Amino acid sequence: MIAKFKPTWMVDTVYNISPTQLKEHGIKAVLSDLDNTLIAWNNPNGTPELRKWMADLHQAGIPLIVVSNNSAKRVSKAVRNLNLPFVSRSLKPLSFGITTARKRLGLKKSEVVMVGDQLMTDMLAANTAGVRSILVKPLINTDKWDTQINRFFEKFVMKDLQKKYPNMKWQEDLND
Ligand SMILES: [Mg+2]
């Protein structure tokens, strides 16, 4: 059961996920959570590092699609300045949003990766959808109330994961 929450990789931030390493692992597209993974609520324009990372992915021909549980209205407003395609109301931890985004790209399960900051939504959804995943640290520590509840339970899930998988650790990058 606990295995359903296990990320394939744990990397400090999305900026450390390099196109070269993605390609080495056969990954052709990145699906990503929005809130606290790509942008913080207090900086909807994204950091210069995010823009640099997006440009690097683009240059490498690796599409980036936002997979968010928020409404289309909220997501389109949030990504307007970033000019990113998205799937809204993705129903994470169900597989719906991830599978929709993957099929839109015409890729196999082994060819996409899901990035997110939450075990109980993003990582569970990735495992349910049968795709690899990257857990990143949340950009900021203040969350909406529903996320705060998840974070509370997440601590126990993380503890169980680390007990079962002692080798699980935060990595500098995918090959660390
Ligand atoms: Mg998030």
Task: State which amino acid sits at residue 29.
Answer: A
**For 60-84, what is each residue's pLDDT tens digit?**
999 999 999 999 999 999 888 899 9
Return d(Cα 36, Cα 138) in angstroms, integer. 5
What's the confidence (pLDDT) of residue 142? Answer: 66
Distance of CA 137 from the midpoint of ligand 1 (Å) = 10
Distance 24 CA to ligand 1 centre (A): 26
19 CA to centre of ligand 1 in angstroms? 22
Q: What is the pLDDT of residue 143?
A: 62
Question: What domain range is 37 assigned to?
Answer: 2-164
Cα of 40 vs centre of ligand 1, distance in Å, is 9
Beta partners for 86? 66
Report how far ligand 1's centroid is from the alpha carbon of 60 (Å): 25
pLDDT at 16: 95
Residue 145 has pLDDT above 80, yes or no: no
174 occurs within a structural domain = no
DSSP 38-98: TBBTTBTT--HHHHHHHHHHHHTT--EEEE-SS-HHHHHHHHTTTT--EE-S--TTSSHHH
The pLDDT of residue 61: 98
In the reported structure, the alpha carbon of residue 34 is separated from the centroid of ligand 1 by a whole-number distance in angstroms of 6
Distance 116 CA to ligand 1 centre (A): 6
Ligand 1 is an ion; residues with CB less than 5 A from it: 33, 35-37, 117
Question: Is there a domain that residue 148 lies in?
Answer: yes
pLDDT in tens, 19-62: 999 999 999 999 999 999 999 877 878 899 999 999 999 999 99
CATH number at residue 108: 3.40.50.1000
Is a pLDDT exceeding 70 seen at residue 144?
A: no
Secondary structure E strands in the chain: 9-10, 29-32, 64-67, 86-87, 112-116, 132-135
∠ CA 92-93-98, nearest 5°, is 55
- Residue 93 belongs to a domain: yes
Does residue 171 form part of some domain? no
Has residue 68 been placed in a domain? yes
pLDDT confidence tier of residue 174, bands split at 50, 70 and 90 = very high
Query: How many domains is the chain partitioned into structurally?
Result: 1
Collapsing DSSP to helix, strand or coil, 123 comes out as: helix
